[in-house]
Structure 1
Amino acid sequence: MFEKVLVANRGEIAVRVMRACEELGVETVAVYSEADKNGGHVRYADEAYNVGPARAADSYLDHEAVIDAAQKAGADAIHPGYGFLAENAEFARKVENEETLTWVGPSSDAMEALGEKTKARTIMNDADVPIVPGTTDPVEEVEEVETFGDEHGYPVAIKAEGGGGGRGMKVVESADDAADELESAKREGEAYFGNDSVYLERYLENPRHIEVQIVADHHGNVRHLGERDCSLQRRHQKVVEEGPSPALSDELREKIGEAARRGVAAADYTNAGTVEFLVEEDVDRDGLLGPDANFYFLEVNTRIQVEHCVTEEITGIDILKWQLRVAAGEELDFAQDDVEIDGHAIEFRINAENAAKDFQPATGGVLTTYDPPGGVGVRVDDAMRQGDELVTDYDSMIAKLIVWGADREECLARSKRALAEYEIEGVTTIVPFHRLTCTDDRFVAGTHTTKYLDEELDPERLSDAQERWGPAEPSASADDVQVVEREFTVEVNGKRFEVDLEERGAAPLSNGGGGSPPQRPQTGSSDDGGSEAAVSGDGESVSAEMQGTVLSVEVAEGDDVAAGDVVVVLEAMKMENDIVAARGGTVSQVAVAEGDSVDMGDTLVVLE
């Protein structure tokens, strides 16, 4: 087993990996950006290194900075968590090529083969795994989209080769939309995954999203750990996951699980991963979906998943520990027949978003109250603590609530209780939405599809839930938090050391071990390198509605625009947001450029 592991991630998943390491007697190393200098994962780790400014491309996505931190710390392995570099085959290959480091994950060759969706479709098709009708070669021209739509019908899905979780996917409803959606998908693919290559698939109208957790070692053993149902989504982003699926018969469940094992084995895949499928739902069905139901391969996530906790709760198998053991060369010590599903589990993503406002990400706040639930069958994976400021530079998920019950009925009842106990003040979250979900007829009946939340759920119910169960307005800054004496840390050559100083906020996150982890300094928000340009143009300003990064500027000085025209495309919390002009006019100034970081209220464009 390894002696020291660097976790190339942040937040709750970094803490989750570190806890697994600690139980295996392995020391941990955190990396952090300037925005995360006070982060929970930094407090938890045995040591921590600064890898750059807030912008992910200059810190968490900087290959050399992360590898350099691992070498400085004397780590012998790197675990990427999920997101950031977790599915980056180039980074994995660099780690593999370092004599002193081991990559905790599938090989770079397997990541490359399955990470690019057209290659993955070919591998699965050859392994007799059903695939959705689509292209196996990258699509470059809009005419290819139109031809595919004419042949297979609309809507058509355009997907980025390196995409996942709804990123880099656009739905074309008609030929008129093809050009704009193709450009948008390619832009997102380049922005998020460094790859603007896209492919096409027939877009299924009413699917269930079913995924199978697999673990494979270097000794030829491949196991699946059952399925998870991830059908409750907003804009293709999962918000609730559960296992086992409430819609599948045992026969269909077995067919999908074996298809996943077959495909992974054909790809010579090792370590943990998830094979995702779309299952065509019969909304008028009586009973469970039988073995004749259509299911299609969607993609392989070559990493640990956000919702891996669901599988851990119903199988009793610690997937993170097995990731480390497999990377260290150990053989799986259980057969497929040994995997038993016990009870039911549901995971609720605790996102800093307002569901009543189209799941708009929170723009800031301080956790003035943070009291997570407990009791039998309740698990919370988090990294924030009372007094922490919300970091808005990255993903909006701040915690995960995972609830287990002997059956789905008990699990839902326990979920209602746990969500009611979850006290969060100072930051807006989607806890009210989750409380509504647990009483929603379609969700309780298990007949919801991936379209339900976006297209069928009455928005007024979301507003009522937010008003009933939502917190007061979030705190704008940390100035109101009481100042107390804490241990402080300083950096020398990127490494942290402890001193005694004042700190704002609550107690540090204990690592439960014998040594003292780095403690939390409170210095307020740091500059992420972005700055608002001076406004010299006359007229009305079009301002940023949230903090984010400029993906593209759609206008130039002198252009005439109409009310509703897109002027800037802004990325915030992994979502692409069109910033539109509220009224028509002529552009007198463009105050930002592609790649700029902006804060809420910054001027983007000035209209005369």
Structure 2
Amino acid sequence: MFDKVLVANRGEIAVRVMRACEELDVDTVAVYSDADKHGGHVRYADEAYNVGPARAADSYLDGDAILDVARTAGADAIHPGYGFLAENADFAARVEAEDGIAWVGPTSDAMARLGEKTHARRVMRDADVPIVPGTTEPVESAAEVTAFGDEHGYPVAIKAEGGGGGRGMKVVEDADEAEERFTAAKREGEAYFSNDSVYLERYLETPRHVEVQVLADGSGDVVHLGERDCSLQRRHQKVIEEGPSPALSDALREEIGEAARRGVAAADYTNAGTVEFLVEEDPGRDPAEPLGPDTPFYFLEVNTRIQVEHTVTEALTGIDIVKQQLRVAAGDGLSIGQADVDLDGHAIEFRINAENAANGFQPANEGRLETYDPPGGIGVRVDDALRAGDELVTDYDSMIAKLIVWGSDREECLARSRRALAEYDLDGVVTIVPFHRLMLEDDRFLAGLHTTKYLDEELDSDRVAEAQERWGTESAAADADEVTERQFTVEVNGKRFEVDLEERGAPPIGAAGGSGGSGGRGRARSPKADEDGDDGEDVAVAAGGEAVEAEMQGTILSVEVAEGDEVAAGDVVCVLEAMKMENDVVAERGGVVASVHVAEGDSVDMGDVLVVLE
């Protein structure tokens, strides 16, 4: 087993990996950005190193910085968690090339093969795994989209080669939408995955999302740990996951599990992964009659990493998936075989996101956990990293925690979930706990008849608003007093030790000794940091004009206007990516573009001026 593991991630998944390491008597190294210097994963780790500013591209996605820390700290393995560098085959290859540092995950070759969706589809097709009708080579024009639609029917899904979780996917309802959606899918693919290649699939009308957890040790032994049903999604992002699926018969469950094992074995896969499928639901089905073995199901993709919802499978099997990952990466192989897998009871995971479900699941822009008291009791697990008093970090994803509930059957699990969600005491930050409580009163969800389209197309938004009003909390703005911080940094053999002194309501302390060095330095937390390139001056707006501002933190995917252009009310001025979703930023009033303050690829904060109209 390893001596020291660097966890190249943040938040709850970093803490979850560190807990497994601690039980194996393995030391841990945390990496953190400037925004996360007080993060829970930093507090938990044995040692911690700063890897750059808040922007993910300059910190958690900086492979050079991560490797430098691994060498400095003497780590002999890197676990990427999920997100960030977890499915970056190039980074995995760099780790594999390092002497004395192991990559905790599938090989870079397997990641590259299965990360390209068209290649993955060919692998699965050759392994006799059903695939959705579609292309197995990238498409180059919108004309190919319309030709595919004419042959297979609409709607058609355009998907980015490197995509997942709905990112880089556009749905074409008819031929008139082909050009716009084709361009948008390619743009998202380039922005998210540095790969603008796209492919096509027939878009299923009533799909369920069912995925199978697999483990493989590289010797040809592949174990599957049952399925999870992730059909409750908003804009292709999962919010509640459960296992086993309430919709599958045992015969269909076995077919899907064996298809996953077959496909993974054909891909020469190692370590943990998830094979995702779409299963066609029968809208008129009696809930008491699960879907039988003749039900169509299709391969969707392979996630070459551990997933957010791996906890559901751990609750059902008692198997620590992270420990199995570490064993395989260390060359020890799996400690279990297929015969050792015994599914017991039912489990549900609720993502506790800092989002307002009544406002389109918009992420919170600020807040402090004035109260944070998670539930407990039999069958209840909470994976988190924040504690009461922590300020919300909004530079990354919106997840605060994961609530995992187990019961001897689905009914007990649902009842226990109602109790646990009612006990979850959070104040100061808006969350989707009210939405979860609503789902536990929702007839469609309780019957297990929901599909991936239920939340976006069928759920009455008034019910969500009522739930938010009944059970919700609001974001509490950070302390209005300016916080002056004096930070002393000491380095011993390259490892940073920091001492922070804070004073509220005081003016900034001037930096001693000029710039550079490791002496004390003062800065105010409230104003925008100078490193963002902002000089702190207000943007001038002429009388009657409009400053179009960012409503949330994110990255500019495209700028749709230029200085001198005329725009009308409702026109899109730029496209902002936030929380894995593409958002059109529109002008509230018409006018002429006086100035443009952002460019493609820029990171922006809430309230930043994007475009000025006059």
TM-score range, shorter chain: over 0.9
Partner residue, 2:181: 181
- Tell whether the 8 Å contact from 2:482 to 2:525 is kept in structure 1 after alignment: no
Report the Cα distance in structure 2 between the residues aligned to 1:40 and 1:491, rounded to whole angstroms.
Answer: 21
The answer as to 2:420 corresponding to 1:418 is yes
Q: What SS does the corresponding residue of 1:124 show, helix, strand or coil?
A: helix
Q: How does 1:335-350 map to 2 (within 5 A)?
A: 335-350=337-352
Between 1:543-552 and 1:392-401, the stretch displaced more is 543-552
Partner residue, 1:314: 316
Task: Kindly provide the CA deviation profile for residues 369-419 of structure 1, in whole angstroms up to 9, marking residues without a partner as x.
Answer: 111000000000000111111111111111100000000000000000000
The answer as to 2:588 corresponding to 1:586 is no
CA 1:482–1:54: 2 relative to 1, 3 Å = closer
Partner residue, 1:386: 388
Residue 450 (structure 2) aligned to one of 436, 448, 462: 448
Q: How does 1:485-524 map to 2 (within 5 A)?
A: 490=489, 492=491, 495-497=495-497, 499=499, 524=525
Report the Cα distance in structure 2 between the residues aligned to 1:543 and 1:602, rounded to whole angstroms.
Answer: 5
Partner residue, 1:141: 141
Report the Cα distance in structure 1 between the residues aligned to 2:166 and 2:78, rounded to whole angstroms.
Answer: 26
Partner residue, 1:323: 325
Q: How does 1:187-586 map to 2 (within 5 A)?
A: 187-286=187-286, 287-471=289-473, 473-478=474-479, 490=489, 492=491, 495-497=495-497, 499=499, 524=525, 527=529, 529=532, 531=534, 535-536=539-540, 538=542, 539-586=545-592
CA-CA distance at 1:489 after TM superposition: 7.7
CA-CA distance at 1:193 after TM superposition: 1.3
Report the Cα distance in structure 1 between the residues aligned to 2:139 and 2:533, rounded to whole angstroms.
Answer: 35
Report the Cα distance in structure 2 between the residues aligned to 1:499 and 1:392, rounded to whole angstroms.
Answer: 24
CA 1:23–1:552: 2 relative to 1, 3 Å = same
Question: Which amino acid is 1:102 matched to?
Answer: A
Report the Cα distance in structure 2 between the residues aligned to 1:335 and 1:180, rounded to whole angstroms.
Answer: 49
Partner residue, 2:513: none
Q: What SS does the corresponding residue of 1:386 show, helix, strand or coil?
A: coil
CA 1:498–1:547: 2 relative to 1, 3 Å = closer
Report the Cα distance in structure 2 between the residues aligned to 1:76 and 1:490, rounded to whole angstroms.
Answer: 26
CA-CA distance at 1:503 after TM superposition: 9.0
Report the Cα distance in structure 1 between the residues aligned to 2:424 and 2:552, rounded to whole angstroms.
Answer: 26
Q: What SS does the corresponding residue of 1:400 show, helix, strand or coil?
A: strand
CA 1:500–1:606: 2 relative to 1, 3 Å = closer
Between 1:263-272 and 1:50-59, the stretch displaced more is 50-59
Q: How does 1:31-180 map to 2 (within 5 A)?
A: 31-180=31-180
Question: Which amino acid is 2:348 matched to?
Answer: I
Report the Cα distance in structure 1 between the residues aligned to 2:585 and 2:606, rounded to whole angstroms.
Answer: 12
- Tell whether the 8 Å contact from 1:35 to 1:393 is kept in structure 2 after alignment: yes
Report the Cα distance in structure 1 between the residues aligned to 2:16 and 2:488, rounded to whole angstroms.
Answer: 23
CA-CA distance at 1:481 after TM superposition: 12
Report the Cα distance in structure 1 between the residues aligned to 2:259 and 2:533, rounded to whole angstroms.
Answer: 47
Report the Cα distance in structure 2 between the residues aligned to 1:390 and 1:478, rounded to whole angstroms.
Answer: 12
- Tell whether the 8 Å contact from 1:530 to 1:597 is kept in structure 2 after alignment: no
- Tell whether the 8 Å contact from 2:483 to 2:524 is kept in structure 1 after alignment: no
Q: What SS does the corresponding residue of 1:213 show, helix, strand or coil?
A: strand
CA 1:414–1:481: 2 relative to 1, 3 Å = farther
- Tell whether the 8 Å contact from 1:392 to 1:573 is kept in structure 2 after alignment: no
Question: Which amino acid is 2:576 matched to?
Answer: L
Partner residue, 1:514: none
Question: Which amino acid is 1:357 matched to?
Answer: N
Partner residue, 1:507: none
CA-CA distance at 1:219 after TM superposition: 2.4
Partner residue, 1:509: none
- Tell whether the 8 Å contact from 1:530 to 1:598 is kept in structure 2 after alignment: no
Report the Cα distance in structure 2 between the residues aligned to 1:601 and 1:456, rounded to whole angstroms.
Answer: 33
Report the Cα distance in structure 1 between the residues aligned to 2:400 and 2:13, rounded to whole angstroms.
Answer: 10
Question: Which amino acid is 1:7 matched to?
Answer: V
- Tell whether the 8 Å contact from 1:127 to 1:262 is kept in structure 2 after alignment: yes
Report the Cα distance in structure 2 between the residues aligned to 1:226 and 1:489, rounded to whole angstroms.
Answer: 50
Task: Kindly provide the CA deviation profile for residues 164-205 of structure 1, in whole angstroms up to 9, marking residues without a partner as x.
Answer: 111111111111111111111111111111111111100001
Structure 1 gap segments, 5+ residues each: 505-521
- Tell whether the 8 Å contact from 2:490 to 2:498 is kept in structure 1 after alignment: no
Question: Which amino acid is 2:496 matched to?
Answer: R
Q: What SS does the corresponding residue of 2:187 show, helix, strand or coil?
A: helix
- Tell whether the 8 Å contact from 1:54 to 1:529 is kept in structure 2 after alignment: no
Partner residue, 2:510: none
Alignment TM-score, normalising by the size of structure 2: 0.93
Report the Cα distance in structure 2 between the residues aligned to 1:533 and 1:211, rounded to whole angstroms.
Answer: 50
Report the Cα distance in structure 1 between the residues aligned to 2:596 and 2:490, rounded to whole angstroms.
Answer: 39
What is the aligned-residue identity percentage? 76
Q: What SS does the corresponding residue of 1:68 show, helix, strand or coil?
A: helix
CA 1:482–1:581: 2 relative to 1, 3 Å = closer
CA 1:482–1:188: 2 relative to 1, 3 Å = closer
- Tell whether the 8 Å contact from 1:489 to 1:496 is kept in structure 2 after alignment: no
Task: Kindly provide the CA deviation profile for residues 43-101 of structure 1, in whole angstroms up to 9, marking residues without a partner as x.
Answer: 11111111111111111111111111100100000000000000000000000000121
CA 1:407–1:530: 2 relative to 1, 3 Å = farther
Q: What SS does the corresponding residue of 2:199 show, helix, strand or coil?
A: strand
- Tell whether the 8 Å contact from 2:483 to 2:525 is kept in structure 1 after alignment: no
Report the Cα distance in structure 1 between the residues aligned to 2:257 and 2:334, rounded to whole angstroms.
Answer: 18
Report the Cα distance in structure 2 between the residues aligned to 1:500 and 1:299, rounded to whole angstroms.
Answer: 46
Report the Cα distance in structure 1 between the residues aligned to 2:345 and 2:422, rounded to whole angstroms.
Answer: 22
Question: Greater relative contact order (Cα 8 A, min sep 6): structure 1 or 2?
Answer: 1
Task: Kindly provide the CA deviation profile for residues 241-292 of structure 1, in whole angstroms up to 9, marking residues without a partner as x.
Answer: 0000000000000000000000000000000000000000001113100000
Report the Cα distance in structure 1 between the residues aligned to 2:25 and 2:148, rounded to whole angstroms.
Answer: 54
Task: Kindly provide the CA deviation profile for residues 354-376 of structure 1, in whole angstroms up to 9, marking residues without a partner as x.
Answer: 00001011011111111100000
Report the Cα distance in structure 1 between the residues aligned to 2:385 and 2:459, rounded to whole angstroms.
Answer: 31
CA 1:390–1:530: 2 relative to 1, 3 Å = farther
Structure 2 gap segments, 5+ residues each: 505-522
Residue 601 (structure 1) aligned to one of 573, 592, 607: 607
- Tell whether the 8 Å contact from 2:380 to 2:406 is kept in structure 1 after alignment: yes
Task: Kindly provide the CA deviation profile for residues 472-515 of structure 1, in whole angstroms up to 9, marking residues without a partner as x.
Answer: x32211458999xxxx98453863326585699xxxxxxxxxxx
Report the Cα distance in structure 2 between the residues aligned to 1:22 and 1:375, rounded to whole angstroms.
Answer: 24
Report the Cα distance in structure 1 between the residues aligned to 2:250 and 2:45, rounded to whole angstroms.
Answer: 42
CA-CA distance at 1:335 after TM superposition: 2.1
CA 1:555–1:109: 2 relative to 1, 3 Å = same
CA-CA distance at 1:218 after TM superposition: 2.5
CA-CA distance at 1:331 after TM superposition: 2.2
Report the Cα distance in structure 2 between the residues aligned to 1:42 and 1:523, rounded to whole angstroms.
Answer: 22
Alignment TM-score, normalising by the size of structure 1: 0.94
